[in-house]
Amino acid sequence: MNKEQQELLDEAYENYCKSFENQTLIEQYSFDTDPMIQLMFLNKCKTDTEFSERWGLKIEERELSDEESIFHYEKELYSPLRIIDPKIPVMPNKLITITYNDTKLESYE
């Protein structure tokens, strides 16, 4: 996961936590009284569509086909940015897409 994606996840989690500050006493007793830790929040967004939609955070992970892996590996291998960072890229096998507040970020791992 890249830095931009982590910042987007942090923002979504921060907004989730802030919602607990504004609860009325009735809401506190009828729902969870404390926010989940960030890892639990992110996992619930990955696995629970209704929860994900409620908080506006969509996290999708999918395995890449062999052809897609090779394509993205070669794209990184022959990227002009390798002049700045000459290390050999790792063959990606997963696409991670994060969508929050009309911002969509993709990364390959």
**Percent of the chain scoring above 90 in pLDDT:** 63
- Residue 59 above 80 pLDDT? yes
For residue range 90-104, list pLDDT tens digits in order. 899 999 999 999 999
- Decide: 78 and 92 in contact? Cβ < 8 Å: no
pTM reported for the whole predicted model: 0.79
Instruction: Report the distance separating Cα 70 and Cα 52, nearest Å.
Output: 32
Question: What pLDDT sits at residue 84?
Answer: 76
